[in-house]
A and B are shown apart, each in its own frame.
Chain A
Amino acid sequence: MWGFLTTITSLEFKGGKAFKPEEEHYLCMHWTVKRIFQAVFTVYVVVTLSFALIRLMPGGPMDYLRATLLGPDQTGTVDRERLNRQIELYMNINPDQPLWEQYVQYMSSVFTGDFGQSIWFNRPVAEILLEALPWTVFVMGIALLLTFAINIALGAIMAYKEGSRFDISMTFLSIISTSIPFYVGAILFLLFFSFTWELFPPGSRVNARLDPWTFEWIMSVLHHATLPILSSVLIGLGSGALIMRGNSIQVLGKDYLRVGRLRGLPEGRLALRYVGRNAVLPMYTSLMIAIGNVFGGAVVLEEIFTYPGVGYYLFVAVEARDYMLLMGAFILITVAVVVCLVVADLTYGLIDPRAKGGGYDEHA
């Protein structure tokens, strides 16, 4: 390891950070463009990866599909051309073309929204997933917001009462809650709330017999979503509260708070505008991580609660070896996460005046 490091010889000190430029708007704009470019590039890499996995893996998805289409006897009663046409229908890839043409064709179909055909459901992948997406966003969005609201409130109260019995017991609980995997929470919820006490339904999104957008329907939606949301909130609880607690304690020791108090500012303003705002800002980083975790967690939770969102179809796809559905769900989840991250990144500059673009992690 050291040998490797020693070979890097471009060693010069970039000293002298003596000056600070005043003009920031240009940098800001550049950074926005850079950030969006990076997001698009990430999606591009992921789609390419999916192509590579489908097309290039020996014994992989393509061969599997061919075997499936040929049927159990494998005798080749279907002629090659027709077989390839079917493959193209399902996968947007024509095996007869040269590799780069297959690649171009695959990429252009994916970027125009054509994810191919699901073998299991025999419907276009895009149709299945677009129908499922709002449900996932609904559940996970609420979970994310709730998690943050609870974490911030909890952490701030713990910091204000630092050293009290409340603080100590909550710290202890937070450690316990981070020690338990979130899906265990989900299973326990199912066991107690659904099967033992029968308070909440154990699966599906809504009572299908109700008419959409009636009051009963909305209540049914919320009723079905409660357990998934609660389990998801468990993912981020605890560690987030501890981070908020640490931030708040740090701000509570800052000079500007002392000066603010001397200036006679009301406690409410100090708590919200001074401690709250400055302690929440660094939480943005953990929000970013939480976005990824929540969508990752959605995959597991939707399966446990048989809640037909994007994650659920990912599982169905794995079990049914429906590779196009698998890739579609994966790409869609990636896009959702990337978009969330970009939005979070770009809005950060609006909230923190010190962020000069991308500065939240490097110069914190």
Chain B
Amino acid sequence: MSTPEATSEQDETLESLFEGYTPEEQTLLDKIQTFLYESVYSPFLIMWVDWRTRVGLMILLGFVLMGTVGPRVVERTYVNHGPYTQPWFQSMDHPLGTDRIGHDILSLTVHATPAMLEMVAGGAIFAVVVATLVGTVSGYTGGKIDFVLTTFTDIALNIPGLPLIIVLAAIFEPERAFLVGILLTINAWAGLARAIRSQVLTIRQEAYVEASFTLDMPLSYIVRRDILPNLMPYILMNLMEMARHVIFASVALYFLGILPFTTHNWGIMLNEAYQHQAHTRLDLFYWMAVPIIVIGLISVGLILVAQGMDRVFNPRVRARFDQSKETSTEVDNV
């Protein structure tokens, strides 16, 4: 790397101009503190301020606990664990009732959570990473790479998702939870990739991107600092959307018996209830209701957090946050 062709003489004039300015040198500890404050503490507080995100975060946190701590606390159920088809809220032993062969429904629900979370994480992260990569590369580079990627994306976009998943599931019969997750988002990334591409196309026309380019900043800097932060709210919102998509699709396919039964999960619970005609009898309604409510709850949590994502990355909100920290007396002045 050669140094710029500025003469040392000019540097001297500059330095003489700025004498008398001695900002304090930051220690490593200061830097770590600043980092933690700016990247962890303040985003969290910004999200926490909004009631929707607060509720959403609490719901999601609840599910994470259910998936990690839950199986250790709740006993794994077995056949003849309780009476057959006992409705919910009848006994303390089986608060959510039992199924046809005496499984405790609460235990089934809790023990299904780890696999569900693994599947959701696998699918959502796969889709978002692929979409961001394809969209950014395609939008920023242009030319032949763009053409190939766009054609690929368009084809993936045009194939109807669920039928494709069903065909692939019928043939490959995947069992590992995160593989199921990836299968469920096998072409769901395409729409996001296309949206990201067109946003990148717009952002790279922005003057500040051109300014970074003019300063010969490396591409990694431009992408990391100038382009991605603008997309982050959008990407994270879509991460939540994808998570919802994975949950809905997986439950649908387990429910319909397309995916091979492995460990218990919410879709299989629904399937068993369905197989036993729970959808034709009101007195068996609780059997289906439990997984449905669980799915609805996690979905609401994801939607609420997605809505709050925008705020974390909005510089206006962040600036207001900084100011309210400095002058905590005047919160509503901006």
Q: Do A and B come from one complex?
A: yes
A297 contacts chain B at the CB level, 8 A cutoff: yes
A191 within 8 A of B: yes
Q: With A178-B303, A181-B295, A184-B292 in contact, is A8–B161 under 8 Å at CB?
A: no
With A38-B154, A341-B158, A362-B201 as known contacts, state yes or no: A2 contacts B223, CB within 8 Å.
yes
Interface 1/0s, chain A 290-330, versus B by CB < 8 A?
A: 00110111011001000000010011011101010011011
The answer to whether the Cβ of A39 comes within 8 Å of any Cβ in the partner chain is yes
Interface assignment of A14: CB less than 8 Å from any CB of chain B:
yes
Please tell me if B48 contacts chain A, counting CB pairs below 8 Å. Answer: no
Q: Which of A17, A45, A202, A296 contacts B162 (CB 8 A)?
A: A296
Instruction: Tell me which residues from 211 to 258 in chain A have a Cβ below 8 Å from any Cβ of chain B.
Output: none
Contact with A along B110-138 (1 / 0, CB 8 A): 00000000000000000001000100110
A-side contacts of B252, CB under 8 Å: 181, 183, 300
Contact status A42-B159, CB under 8 Å: yes
B280 near A: Cβ within 8 Å? yes
**Are B198 and A361 in contact, with the CB atoms below 8 A?**
yes
Instruction: List A contacts of B143 (CB < 8 A).
Output: 10
Question: B160 to chain A: closest CB distance in Å?
Answer: 5
Rounded to whole Å, the gap between the CB of B313 and the closest CB of chain A is 19
Q: B103 at the A/B interface (Cβ < 8 Å)?
A: no
Q: Please name all residues of chain A whose beta carbon is closer than 8 Å to the beta carbon of B300 when the two chains form the complex.
A: 175-176, 179
In Å, the complex CA distance between A120 and B129 comes to 41
User: Are B151 and A5 interface neighbours, CB within 8 A?
Assistant: no
Shortest Cβ gap from B37 to chain A (Å) = 24
Chain B residues lying within 8 Å of A75, measured Cβ to Cβ, are none
**Chain A residue nearest to B257 in the complex (CB):** A319
Q: Which chain B residues lie closer than 8 Å to A196 at the CB level?
A: 282
Please tell me if the beta carbons of B158 and A39 are within 8 angstroms of each other in the complex: yes
A18 within 8 A of partner (CB): no
Given contacts A38-B151, A303-B256, A318-B170, contact A8 B136 (CB under 8 A): no
Q: How far is the CB of B185 from chain A (nearest CB, A)?
A: 13
Are A334 and B288 interface neighbours, CB within 8 A? no
B143 smallest CB distance to A (angstroms): 6
Stretch at the interface among A53-61, A87-95, A103-111, A145-153: A53-61
Interface-central residue, A10, A292, A315, A326, by most chain B CB under 10 Å: A292
Of B7-15, B19-27, B28-36, B213-221, the one touching chain A:
B213-221
Is A190 positioned at the interface, with any CB of B under 8 Å from its CB?
A: yes
Would you give the 0/1 interface string for A170-207, flagging 1 where the beta carbon is closer than 8 Å to chain B?
Answer: 00000110111101100100110011100000100000
Q: How large is the interface on B (under 10, 10 to 19, 20 to 34, 35 or more residues)?
A: 35 or more
CA distance A10 to B137 in the complex (A): 11
* Cross-chain contact A330 with B220 (CB below 8 angstroms): no
Chain A residues lying within 8 Å of B158, measured Cβ to Cβ, are 38-39, 42, 292, 334, 337-338, 341
Q: Report if A5-B223 is in contact (Cβ < 8 Å); known contacts: A38-B154, A187-B274, A297-B162.
A: yes
Q: Name the interface residues of B205-238: CB closer than 8 Å to any CB of A.
A: 205, 210, 213, 218-220, 223-224
B163 in complex: contacting residue of A190, A314, A338, CB < 8 Å: A314
Partner of A181, one of B129, B201, B248: B248
Q: Does B285 sit within 8 A of A, measured CB to CB?
A: yes
CB-CB nearest in chain A for B280: A195
Among A29-65, those with CB < 8 Å from B are: 38-39, 41-42, 45-46, 50, 53, 57, 60-61
Pairwise interchain contact A330-B164, C-beta atoms closer than 8 A = yes
Q: Is A53 a contact partner of B167 (Cβ separation < 8 A)?
A: yes
Interface contacts beyond A179-B303, A202-B280, A295-B163: sample of 18 additional A-B pairs, CB < 8 Å, sorted by A:
A6-B219, A53-B167, A60-B171, A61-B171, A181-B248, A191-B282, A195-B279, A292-B161, A293-B161, A296-B160, A296-B162, A299-B163, A303-B256, A318-B166, A318-B258, A327-B167, A333-B160, A333-B163
Q: Which 6 A-B pairs have the closest CB atoms?
A: A296-B162, A195-B280, A179-B299, A2-B220, A181-B248, A42-B158
